[in-house]
Structure 1
C-alpha cells in the first residue's frame, strides 16, 4: 500500500479509545459506565483525513480478542484476577483468530466489522497493520474461531513435563499458580494447576503485580533450564500454529504485522515463518519490537523489515527534551546504527511510552516539535505517530488500572479529551489547532524525496561555536537535484545561525558546488539565488522549540551532474 515507494508514515490508533466520545470517565469504570470506541468509528472521512496528512499505513492496536472482564454470550468468561484493568490488555490474546467484541457494533458480527474496516482502509489508499503477539497468550486462552482442523494451544500438551519440544506451554509441575487477591473483585481465586510460566520469562509459580501475570509464555522449542534448542524438522508445534495464524490474517487483507516483543522469540522461527509466507504475500510488512541493539542485524537478516528505534534515537531525543542530554548526542546514535539507516522505525510516542505533552516529558506538545522533526527527517526509515499526539494529548488521566503515569491507558475503558475534540472540531483549542497544523507541515516536508531517498551528512563536527551543541542539531540530506539543510532547535530562545557546508560534505554526498541554485526556506517561504560553495556560511533562522529546513535546488540541469 505504498506504491510510490516513498517514506512509510504510520498512524497508530487504539480503536477502543479512538471513537469513544462519551466523556463519562469513571476510574476503573465498566464498558456500560465509560463507553467504548468501535471499529465503525474509524470512518471513511477520518481515513481520508489521515491519507491527506500523508500517512501510508494505519496500525490498529488491540484488534485481536483478548482477556477482558466484560462478558459476552458464547465467549469464555475471564477471571478478573488474570485481567489487567476492566478492559484488559490488548497483548493478553485470548483467541488469535477472533476480533475483540468490545470493538463491534454487533459483537456476534465482529469479524465482519473488521473486514469492513480493512476495506475502508484500503479504499482510502492506506495499508492495514495489526499486532502479532507471538511470545505469550492470555492465561485463559481459548479459540472458538480457529479453523476446524486447527488444534488449540495446549490441547495436546503433556502437562506432566516441564519442557517438551512440542508442548505449547512450559509447565511448573506439581505447583499451583499463586496470584495476588487484589487483582480483581471476583470472590473466588483464579486456579491454575499445574502452573505455567508467565509471559515475561517468569519460570516460577508466583508472578508479581509488575510481571505479565495475565499471560502465559509460549514454547518455541527452547529448554528454559539448559538453553538448548530443538528446532529440527518437522518444526516445533508452536511454529506451525503461528504460521497458520499469520496466513489467516494475511488472507483477510492485513498488509503488515507489528511483532510484539519479537526479541523474546527465537530468530530461527522468524527466518522460517517469513520465508514461508513471502511467496504468497511478497509485500507483507514485519516490524519487530526489539530493545537489544546488538541483536538488530540478526533479526533483520531473519527477514523482519523494520525494527523499533527506541533504545537509540527515541531515548536520546527524550533525554534532550528533558535537558538530560545534549543535542550533539544524536551523532552517536546514527554512528552506532551505521548500515541500518532506513531500517529503523522512528517514533516519539506509542502505547508503551509517556506522552510528550505529559508532565513527565515537556508538558506541552509544541515543545517536542524539534525532536519529532529529527525523528522524521534524519533518514529514510519509516516514522510513526500515535493517535492524540498531533493534538498534544497529555496522558495525565488516572483511568483505573493505569494510574497517572503520563501514558494513555491500554487497560481501561476511557474517553480521551483530545479524541472528543478530534471528532467534534468545535472543541479544538487554538493550541491544538496550531499543533496539528505544525504536524501537517512536518509530514509534508517528510514526504519530499530527499528525506526518503537522500544521503545523510552530520554537520556537528564542523559547526564549532556557530551553534549550541546542547540545544541545536544540524545535518544535511542530499539526492540529485536537491540539497536540504536541517536544523533542530531545542532551546527556549530563537537561533539565527550561519552554518558552513564543508568541502568534505560535497565530496561525500557527491553534490556539485560552484553552481547557482535556488535557496528556499520552507519555514518562511523566503527564496534567493545563491552559489553553492564549500565553507560558505548559509544563514538559517530557527524559532524556539522548532526546526528549520532550507532547500537548495537547481536553476539549471547542470546541478544534477
Structure 2
C-alpha cells in the first residue's frame, strides 16, 4: 500500500491536476476512434443513499438532461469521439407512468427494480425514467443527441435483435408498423414469419428462484405473485425451449425468430459465394426483391427510425445469436441511409469474427475473448506478455475491426478486488490496448477515476456496476461534483488517474502513426535480451510522417532497466541513419533517452518504473 501511495503521488506530481488539453495542431486523418460507454440511467445520479433494492425516489436516477454542456465538454476533453448511451430504448421497469399510459412491468419477469436495458419493451420510444418530463421523453433525448453533436461527438445506442422483453408493448409504433408477435400463428412452434418461437399447449411458468432470490428483494408488490400470463409459452431469449426456464436463463426475455428452423436450418436465401469480398452496396443490391422473414423487416424499420433521429450508430447485443445473413440485410440498409454509421457488435466466438465482419458487414466487434481476457490475466499478475504476440498476429487481417476495451457494463471493474483491486494496475494494459492497433478504444464511465463497483444494488453481485437497479456510482459522483463535472471531490491520486487516461486517449486521437503500420519487438528482445522479461511489451508503430516505439512495463514491483533492441525487420522498414541521437517520449513528454544505430543493429537505453509506459518518437 505504501509503495502504491508513493507511486501515485509521483504520478500525480508528473501529471497536471487539470485535464490535459488536446494537442494544438490540427489532428491528422484518419483518426483513432475513442468510445465512451455511459450507462445513461446512472451517469447523472448524484444521490449517494445506495440502499439495496432502493427505489428511484430513495436512490435517485439520472436523466438525459444531466448531460449538460459542461459535462459534454469534459467528456470531449478526455479524448472521446463517440458516446455510447447504454439503456436508451424503453425497456421493462418496475413502476407506473400514468402520464403516458404505461403500467409497471411484472417483478417476476424483471431483473432488478430498474430493469435490464436488454429487455426492450418498446423500440419506438425511450426509457421514461431518463426524462424530466415523461410526456416529452423523446424530445429530451433528441436534445441530448443535438448537444452531443454540438460538442463534436457522435451518438451510439443499443439495438438488441436477439430478444425482446416478455412484456413487449409497442405503444409508439409509426403508422403501418405492426407489433412483434401481433400476426404470429401461436398454434405452431415455428413459422418463418412468426416473430417468436412457441411451446404450443404449455403456459409460461416463472423460474424457480435460487440462492434465496426474491423479486424486489422480498418487497410486497401486487404483481409479485410468482406468475406471469403467457400462453402459449415462448422460447426464452438465450434459446431455452422450456415453458419454465431456469433461473439463470434470460427469463425476462423472449427469443426473436429470424427464419431459422428449430433444427437450425435456414428458411431464407443465403449469401452467394464470394459475398465476403463484396461491399455493403453489393449486399444491399443482393437483398432487393428478396422475400425475407418478417422480423428482418421489423428491425430494419426500427434502425431506420433511429437514424431519422440523427443517431450515428448502434451497438448490437449478442449478434452471434442472430444469423449473419440478417446482418448483411440490416447493415447494408443502415449504410444506404448513413454510409458513416458506426456499427459495433457483441460477438464472442473468434471462429465467427470474419463472417460477421465480411459477410455481416459489421464495422467493429468486441475483442474480448482474446485480447481483453489475456490483458486481464496479465493485470492480475499471473499472465505473460508472451501470449500477446500470437493473439495480435492471429487478428492481423481484421485488427482494425476489433474494438479494444478494459471495462464495459458486463465486465468486472478493474478496481474491484475480484479483478485487480487497484486501478493503476491497468495503466500498461491501457497503453497497449489503445496504441497497438488501428482499432477503436472504449472506456466505461467511472473507469477513468477508479470506480470499484462495490455496491450491493439488488439483482447481481458487486464488482460490476449494476445495470438492473437504481444506484449511485461513487467514484464517478466525485468527478461529477454535484453537476460541476470538474473532479472537485476527487483525491489527487484519482485526479492523476483520470489525467493519465486523458493523456493516453488524446495522444491516440492525434497520432498519425497509430493509424499506420505495426511490428512487434517483443519476440526479438525475448531472444536477444536477458534483461527483457515477459512483464514487458514493446512494439513499433509508424506511417510516412511519424515513427514510434511503444514500451510498457506490467511489473508491479520491478523497474525495467535494459537496452531495447530494434529488430532487423524494423531497421529495414525504417532505413535509419547510423549514429547516436536523442529521442523524446511523446505521450507524457517527460522522458528522453538515446538511440544508437550501427552496422550490428540499433538499440535504445531504457528505464521504466513499475507500471510505467513510454512512447518514443524516432526522427
- TM-score, with length taken from structure 2: 0.86
Q: For residues 234-273 of structure 1, what are the structure 2 equivalents within 5 Å? A: 234-273=291-330
Render the CA deviation track for 1:113-144: whole Å, top value 9, x for unaligned.
Answer: 10000000000000000001110000000111
CA distance in 2, matches of 1:242, 1:511: 53
Equivalent position of 2:393 in the other structure: 335
State which of 163, 173, 186 in structure 2 corresponds to 1:146. 173
1:130 aligns with 2:194: no
Render the CA deviation track for 1:240-277: whole Å, top value 9, x for unaligned.
Answer: 00000000001101001011111111111111122223
Equivalent position of 1:471 in the other structure: 535
CA distance in 2, matches of 1:229, 1:334: 37
The answer on whether the counterparts of 1:58 and 1:126 sit within 8 Å (CA) in structure 2 is yes
The answer on whether the counterparts of 1:76 and 1:142 sit within 8 Å (CA) in structure 2 is no
State which of 210, 225, 228 in structure 2 corresponds to 1:190. 228
Render the CA deviation track for 1:82-104: whole Å, top value 9, x for unaligned.
Answer: 10000000000000111000000
SS at the partner of 1:303? Answer: coil
Equivalent position of 2:193 in the other structure: 166
CA distance in 2, matches of 1:472, 1:28: 44
Equivalent position of 1:480 in the other structure: 544
Q: For residues 508-523 of structure 1, what are the structure 2 equivalents within 5 Å? A: 509-514=573-578, 519-522=583-586, 523=588
Equivalent position of 2:142 in the other structure: 115
> For the aligned residues, what is the CA RMSD?
1.8
SS at the partner of 1:131? Answer: strand
SS at the partner of 1:291? Answer: coil
More divergent stretch after superposition (322-331 vs 371-380)? 322-331
The answer on whether the counterparts of 1:450 and 1:483 sit within 8 Å (CA) in structure 2 is no
1:376 aligns with 2:434: yes
> What is the CA distance between 1:162 and its match in structure 2?
0.2
The answer on whether the counterparts of 1:316 and 1:325 sit within 8 Å (CA) in structure 2 is yes
State which of 381, 387, 411 in structure 1 corresponds to 2:445. 387
State which of 363, 366, 369 in structure 2 corresponds to 1:308. 366
Render the CA deviation track for 1:498-553: whole Å, top value 9, x for unaligned.
Answer: 1111222222x355443776511234534467564562220122221221111112
SS at the partner of 2:397? Answer: coil
The answer on whether the counterparts of 2:593 and 2:605 sit within 8 Å (CA) in structure 1 is no
> What is the CA distance between 1:171 and its match in structure 2?
0.2
The answer on whether the counterparts of 2:205 and 2:227 sit within 8 Å (CA) in structure 1 is no
Equivalent position of 2:480 in the other structure: 423
1:350 aligns with 2:411: no
CA distance in 2, matches of 1:174, 1:528: 76
Equivalent position of 1:225 in the other structure: 263
CA distance in 2, matches of 1:481, 1:81: 60
Higher relative contact order (CA 8 A, sep 6+): 2
More divergent stretch after superposition (491-500 vs 233-242)? 491-500
> What is the CA distance between 1:191 and its match in structure 2?
2.0
Equivalent position of 2:44 in the other structure: 19
CA distance in 1, matches of 2:437, 2:144: 31
State which of 409, 423, 436 in structure 2 corresponds to 1:365. 423
SS at the partner of 2:571? Answer: helix
Equivalent position of 1:536 in the other structure: 602
SS at the partner of 1:6? Answer: coil
More divergent stretch after superposition (152-161 vs 17-26)? 17-26
More divergent stretch after superposition (177-186 vs 73-82)? 177-186
Equivalent position of 2:283 in the other structure: none
State which of 130, 134, 139 in structure 2 corresponds to 1:103. 130
CA distance in 1, matches of 2:589, 2:531: 20
Equivalent position of 1:557 in the other structure: none
The answer on whether the counterparts of 2:86 and 2:157 sit within 8 Å (CA) in structure 1 is yes
SS at the partner of 2:519? Answer: strand
CA distance in 2, matches of 1:516, 1:303: 48
SS at the partner of 2:139? Answer: helix
Render the CA deviation track for 1:319-345: whole Å, top value 9, x for unaligned.
Answer: 111123201111011122120121110
The answer on whether the counterparts of 1:377 and 1:451 sit within 8 Å (CA) in structure 2 is no
Check 1:3–1:527 CA distance in 2 against 1; reply closer, same or farther (3 A cut).
closer
SS at the partner of 2:65? Answer: helix
Equivalent position of 1:559 in the other structure: none
Render the CA deviation track for 1:284-343: whole Å, top value 9, x for unaligned.
Answer: 111111001111111111211011100111000001111232011110111221201211
Equivalent position of 2:286 in the other structure: none
More divergent stretch after superposition (37-46 vs 228-237)? 228-237
Q: Give the unaligned 5+ runs of structure 1.
A: 554-561
SS at the partner of 1:50? Answer: helix
The answer on whether the counterparts of 2:31 and 2:512 sit within 8 Å (CA) in structure 1 is no
Equivalent position of 1:31 in the other structure: 56
SS at the partner of 1:340? Answer: helix
CA distance in 2, matches of 1:524, 1:146: 54
Check 1:9–1:467 CA distance in 2 against 1; reply closer, same or farther (3 A cut).
farther
More divergent stretch after superposition (249-258 vs 48-57)? 48-57
Check 1:281–1:304 CA distance in 2 against 1; reply closer, same or farther (3 A cut).
same
The answer on whether the counterparts of 2:95 and 2:103 sit within 8 Å (CA) in structure 1 is no
> What is the CA distance between 1:495 and its match in structure 2?
1.2
CA distance in 1, matches of 2:606, 2:246: 54
State which of 436, 449, 460 in structure 1 corresponds to 2:511. 449
The answer on whether the counterparts of 1:485 and 1:551 sit within 8 Å (CA) in structure 2 is yes
Equivalent position of 1:277 in the other structure: 334
1:326 aligns with 2:384: yes
CA distance in 1, matches of 2:523, 2:102: 61
CA distance in 1, matches of 2:193, 2:108: 29
Render the CA deviation track for 1:473-500: whole Å, top value 9, x for unaligned.
Answer: 1111111232211111111222122111
> What is the CA distance between 1:181 and its match in structure 2?
6.0
SS at the partner of 1:119? Answer: helix
Check 1:467–1:450 CA distance in 2 against 1; reply closer, same or farther (3 A cut).
farther
State which of 213, 226, 250 in structure 2 corresponds to 1:212. 250
